[in-house]
A and B are shown apart, each in its own frame.
Chain A
Amino acid sequence: MNTYWYLPAILLPAAGGTFAGLFFKNEKAVRVFCGTVTCLTSALAFLLILSGTEGLLEVARFSDRLVFCLDLTGPGRVFASVSASLWPLTALYAFEYMDGDPRFRSFYSFFTLSFGVTLGIALAGNLFTLYCFYEMLTLSTVPLVVHTHTKEASRAGRVYLAMSIGGAAFAFISLVYTVVSGPALPPSAVSRVFWLFGFFGFGVKAAVFPLHFWLPKAAAAPTPVTALLHAAAVVNAGVFAILRLTYEVYGADLLAGTPAQAAALSFVLFTVVYGSFMAVREQHLKRRLAYSTVSNLAYMLFGVLLLTPAGLTAGLMHMVFHSVMKITAFFAIGAVNRHAGIEYLQDAEGLGRRMPVTMACFTVSALALIGIPPFAGFVSKWYLLAAAADAGTPLAFLGMGAVLLSALFTAFYTLVVVRKAFFPVPGAVPARREAGVRMLVPLVLLAFASLACGLAGRYFYNVLAETVSGIPSEQWGGL
């Protein structure tokens, strides 16, 4: 397809979201409209990906070095396809979850809008464009975080906004450096320091340890937002930005084996263990999953920062699989939240009797997250471990230990929920009251997807490895 088709993929949801926010009064109409726009955009995105469209589309040129351009490269395809498959499902889920919400217009409007921005990140042709969309993503998702207008939500929104903007400022420093220092960055310590700026800047969205705490707080948002944005789209955007910054702007050769890599890796490894340990301690179900996301994002970064093709592939693979698994878990917990009003772990006794299908899907995602074969998490963790073992550095071995320890913690923090849900200590057993079909359809589909992804793991890996092999090292600095 022509590269001009990049534009509607971004503009259609952006315009649709704005339009819905401005002109619709009726909840049903908004749903139909936004659902249609989302589906159309997804279809367009998949057409772009499957037709193998590629090539640079220059949208605006500010100066010789500052160009706003779009391109569909390997990792971008992966990120775009994840977003495009999950958005319509989440929209369907949201129809039930947000049913009767008084501020439905702002929700659907920004929800659709942020789809366009996310696709913009996936389609970004250079760091400058990526940066622009990255900032836009922050702005377009803040209204979703503060949606409920509770004190907790507005605090979460404030923290989220401040952290993201602050992080982006750091990333901006890195951006300026790459623009000023020209396409080929000097392999010096200065470059590495600026890379670290970029890493921690984008690391805010990827929830790297000292910058992670907005994520559990953001669990105050409505579940479709937490599930899609804070388990898949936004946080993946952070990982994605780091990935492109590392491999395509600075280049793996610049960083491999340097203290900069070691510094970033040690933060990431600490996050792996820290996130899952905090998840074990956390009693609020959604925040528990949010901490789990913190840990899992660090898995991806671990793969990415190994700076080997295998590591990158494994990191990308975990990005895809984790999105599927975690969104399932969030959907299940959200359904429980909506229909049973349960937010804390201790109230989960007997939930499996009350909502068997929902909790069965949660169980599947729990097993997948731990890494039980044949579910998705097992395969991505296996490849991640394999990549680490091949890298062979002491930090990589340490990382293997961290991943296994974290898997153990994962078993603790997910299986406790399963145990309480299905095997309650004798007592009153609630009557069966299952979630509605609009919630169950995405849930069941995604649960099966976890299984299918696991079984077809080898195929996925080969596809991703091929995608990754196409990354032109150090080409991307040419802004």
Chain B
Amino acid sequence: MTLLLVLLPMLAAPAAFFVSKTAASRPERAGQAGFLLMAGVCAAECLLAALAAVRPELAFPGTAGGSMYIPVLADQGLLFEYDGFRRVYTVVLPFMWLMTSLFSPEYFKGHQRTGRYCFFTLMTLGAAMGVFLSGNFFTALVFFEVMSFTSFPWVIQEETADAVRAAGTYLAVAVIGGLAALMGIFLLQHELGTTDFSALAGALQRAEHPGRIAAAGGCILAGFGAKAGMFPLHIWLPKAHPAAPAPASALLSGALTKSGIFGILALSCVLFRDCVPWGVLLLSLGAVTMLLGAVMALFSVNLKRTLACSSMSQIGFILVGTGVLCLPGEHAALAASGVLLHMVNHSLFKLVLFIAAGAVYMNAHTLDLTALKGAGKGHPVLMVPFLLGALGISGIPGFSGYLSKTLLHEGIAEAAAEYGAALTAVEWVFLFSGGLTLAYMTKLFVCLFADAPEAAAERKDGHAAQPAKAAAGGASGISGHPAKAAAGGTSGISGHPAKAAAGGASGHAAHGFSMNPLSATALWVSALLIPLFGLAPSLTLERVAALGTDFFRTEPLLPGFRWFSFGNLRGSLVSVAVAAVVYIFFVRKCLIRDGKYVNRWPAKLDLEDAFYRPLLLRWLPGFFGALVKPFAENRFTGGLFRGAVLAGRFLARCIAENRLTGALYRAAVRAGGILARGFSDLPDALVLLLRNTLFRPLKRPDPGSPASTLSYKIGAIADRLDPEADPGRHPHASGLYERVRAFLHATHNLTDSLSFALLLLGLAICGILIYVLVLRG
């Protein structure tokens, strides 16, 4: 059944693709059928997962224990496990997919290539389920890689220049992260002989090289951390989320980052439990991620970018919790519950917030905050869910975020009591980031629902002043967005949005807002869970937290945790105070100028553009050049070094263009030619040599003239016959005479050499005879 959870979406994916393709030929229902099929599959998946969660014994019918092994791929094979943590997340994932697919038909109305979106969304669901169900790192890696590649089309779906660039970053991070994880998992397999979660802890006791285990851990952390959005590998996140369509952003943010967290959790709980350096590493990375994400979100002037940075910040909260979990002590149970609950909560918040952002975008066609001022004013259908999500993520008592943040905070506080000042600092960073969360959510909420829409004239100015920022924020999706998408609303107040969209990043609020019932249902169902969880913790989240104990290997949380005691409320109050100060004195004073949200974030402060891209595209290739430069400029060694560099460059060029090998080859051919010619002339030379030495005919005495009487007479007759002959000439001068003489001479030569040869032959025969008869005999 667990296998079915993985395979069902993957097998249904092609069907969704083809249904969507065939439906696309009928423009009035373009792509809708594919989304409905997708929603159906997700609903089925959700039911299946819920059934498995209620009756865990159904997870692996026919196999003993809570795991299933499938011997495919390499010698590790796929291992699936099912425990409390998986019970939670196998339900959460299809639920998120279901909600986003309910929202998709409206969002994608009029879009091209929705079949592709359906296909890859379902594939990603299967892969994500695979990651969460995996029972060893090998399986996790396999599905993790599949997930990375199937989610790539989400980011590039819109095919705008920004989307293509963001997708490139996403892919590069995924590939490099995947390779790092592969290396780490490989090392683990080689050192410990297994990557099964259940067997690793035991195998660790027999480890021979702790250094290599640590290296493996670092590699795996980098791989999964990159997907989670952990600093300093978060670079893809603030760009990919705004570029993707809103339903995909919700999943990227709510589900895919969690799969990265899953890998880190598995690593922490299995290998590095009670390992202080590891805990400190996670704590510091988590604290930086948490704070940086919150600050970036505060500065952002793009709706979805704010939410994306917020995701990063919340991942930081989870990482801090994981770090605390790894420090040995009593606080582990608190931290574990906090981590699990915050994961679930964050998935939920981001689902709500991104769907809401998507609803705003499909009506207003911009993500720029200034242009969005008052966009949702007077539309409670949007405002209430957004408010619930904002309050939840900010950790206000009564909403579910409060519970998880309280647990995390308590965990840190208890650890601080044990480990001292460093942890207290983390605690303050935690509370401050919590405050920033509330501040940027307030900023968004006020912008969308309280600010007065800009007047038309102002809007024009704003539009002229904005484009750079809008582009930087990724809001230029408008250009790639077909204008007819605006004509989508089924229910009512559509006004003249098509014109507005054609006009660019301008008006919205004046033109009303629409959302079809299906989308509204998706939004409201998700949003109502937030206060439900928040108000009845003992019925909901406490039970969820109790399920995580197997996976986290902790004691269960003590029953009767006093959620709303003053001690626990205090943290929340501190955050609210921070938020009030930050919002009033910073956001309103510095980030809003003349009623416009201005981008105060220095453009150069972008880790990707400032570091990673140059590193990969310029620095590494130019590394050797930079290496030789200082030496080359040194006057003493300069000449020598320059010579060496030149030689090196020459050699490199030779190698690169095959010049060296080519020249060698040519030289060899030429030398061979000379040799061959030499050899081919050798016999001739030998013959010549022999002729002129050994076989030279004896010099005969010149017979004088006439050579013979016969020739003389013939010559004389011939001369007389020739009328033109000079009578006074010597008879020997006749041509015929000369010829006859030459002939006779040649015969003499011939007979001479023939006789000589015969003589030699005779001698040789005699020699052989003597040899045979005398010496051998």
* A residues in contact (CB < 8 Å) with B: 162, 210-211, 213, 367, 370-374, 378-379, 382-383, 385-386, 389-390, 404, 407-408, 411, 415, 419, 422-426, 454-458, 461
Contact = CB atoms under 8 A, between A and B. Distances in A.
A70 to B, nearest CB: 35
B661 interface: yes
Contact of B141 (A373, A407, A456, A461): A373
A295 B39 CA distance: 45
Given A382-B74, A455-B73, A426 B159 contact: yes
A408 B72 CA distance: 25
30 contacts: A162-B665, A162-B669, A213-B658, A370-B175, A373-B146, A378-B73, A379-B73, A379-B74, A386-B186, A404-B183, A407-B179, A408-B175, A411-B175, A415-B175, A419-B156, A419-B164, A419-B171, A423-B153, A423-B159, A424-B159, A425-B159, A425-B161, A425-B164, A455-B72, A456-B72, A457-B74, A458-B71, A458-B72, A458-B73, A458-B74
A302 to B, nearest CB: 16
Contact of B75 (A210, A213, A408, A461): A461
Contacts of B145: 372-373, 378
Contacts of A423: 153, 156, 159, 164, 167
Contacts of B189: 386
B175 A419 contact: no
B718 interface: no
B160 interface: yes
B190 interface: yes
A422 B156 CA distance: 10
B281 interface: no
Contacts of B72: 374, 455-458
A210 B661 contact: yes
Given A404-B179, A407-B179, A408-B175, A461 B661 contact: no
Contacts of B175: 370, 408, 411, 415
Contact of B73 (A390, A411, A454): A454
Nearest to B167: A423
- Among B156, B167, B186, find the residue whose CB has the most chain A CB atoms closer than 10 A: B186
A372 B149 contact: yes
B77 A374 contact: no
Interface of A is mostly: helix
Interface string B514-553: 0000000000000000000000000000000000000000
Given A389-B186, A461-B74, A408 B176 contact: yes
List of 9 A-B pairs having minimum Cβ-Cβ separation, nearest first: A373-B142, A389-B190, A411-B175, A213-B658, A382-B74, A423-B156, A455-B72, A457-B73, A372-B145
A432 to B, nearest CB: 12
Interface residues of B, number: 35
Nearest to B669: A162
B279 to A, nearest CB: 29
Given A382-B73, A415-B171, A458-B77, 16 more contacts: A371-B182, A372-B145, A372-B178, A373-B73, A373-B146, A382-B186, A385-B186, A386-B74, A389-B186, A404-B183, A408-B179, A419-B168, A423-B164, A423-B167, A426-B159, A458-B75
Nearest to A211: B661
A374 B179 contact: no
Nearest to A425: B164
B612 to A, nearest CB: 14
A382 B665 CA distance: 38
A367 B74 contact: no
Contacts of A371: 182
Nearest to B112: A429
A408 B175 CA distance: 7
A386 B75 CA distance: 10
B728 interface: no
A383 B171 contact: no
A424 B75 CA distance: 39
Contacts of B492: none
A210 B665 CA distance: 11
B75 to A, nearest CB: 6
Interface string B125-155: 0000000000000000110011001000100
Contacts of A383: 74-75
Contacts of B669: 162
A39 B722 CA distance: 84
Interface string B68-101: 0001111101000000000000000000000000
A455 B142 CA distance: 11
Nearest to A392: B190
Nearest to B143: A373
B704 to A, nearest CB: 62
B701 interface: no
A442 B458 CA distance: 62
A415 B153 CA distance: 13
B480 interface: yes
A195 B365 CA distance: 70
Nearest to B658: A213
Interface string B174-197: 011011001100110110000000
A372 B160 contact: no
Contacts of B480: 426
A75 to B, nearest CB: 21
Contacts of B176: 408
Contacts of B74: 378-379, 382-383, 386, 457-458, 461
